[in-house]
Amino acid sequence: MSTWLNTFLNQPSAAEPWSTIGSRSLYCIIDTVRQPRALEQLYQQDGISGIDRLFRNTPFVEMSDVSPLWLPLKPGSPVAAKAVELCLNNRSGLLLSCSATPEAAFSHAQRLLRMNCRQQGEALARYYDPAFWAALALTTSAHRLYGPWDSVFTPPAHPSDRAWRIWAQPAQTDEYSAAHDQPLLLDDSTLTAAEGTRWWYWVRAREAESAQTLRDEQLPTVFDNFGLLIEKGIDEGRHLERLLPLLSQCAWRERPEIMSVLSSNLPPFEKVQRLEV
pLDDT in tens, 8-50: 999 999 999 999 999 999 999 999 999 999 999 999 999 898 9
Q: Are residues 96 and 227 in the same domain?
A: no
In a domain, 208, yes or no: no
Backbone angles phi, psi at 198, to 5 degrees: -65, -40
Q: Are residues 35 and 146 in the same domain?
A: yes
Residue 66: how many CA atoms within 13 Å on its side-chain side?
8
Q: Are residues 161 and 244 in the same domain?
A: no
Q: Which domain holds residue 239?
A: 214-276
Q: Are residues 169 and 229 in the same domain?
A: no
In a domain, 164, yes or no: yes
DSSP class of residue 28 equals E
Strand order through the sheet with 52-53: 13-14, 164-168, 149-154, 93-98, 25-30, 69-73, 52-53
In a domain, 199, yes or no: no
Q: Are residues 18 and 146 in the same domain?
A: yes
Q: Are residues 156 and 254 in the same domain?
A: no
In a domain, 194, yes or no: no
Please give the tally of structural domains in the chain. 2
Round to whole Å and give the CA distance between 260 and 245.
20
Residues 35 and 89 sit within 8 Å (Cβ to Cβ): yes
Residues of the chain with pLDDT > 90, as a percent, come to 79
Q: Are residues 20 and 113 in the same domain?
A: yes
Whether pLDDT at 243 is above 80: yes
Q: Give residue 121's pLDDT.
A: 83
In a domain, 66, yes or no: yes
How do strand 114-117 and strand 52-53 relate by DSSP bridges? unpaired
In a domain, 190, yes or no: no
In a domain, 201, yes or no: no
In a domain, 198, yes or no: no
Confidence category of residue 177, pLDDT binned at 50, 70, 90: low
Which one of 129, 164, 185 terminates a domain?
185
Round to whole Å and give the CA distance between 187 and 29.
24
Q: Give residue 1's pLDDT.
A: 67
Q: Are residues 15 and 145 in the same domain?
A: yes
Q: Are residues 141 and 238 in the same domain?
A: no
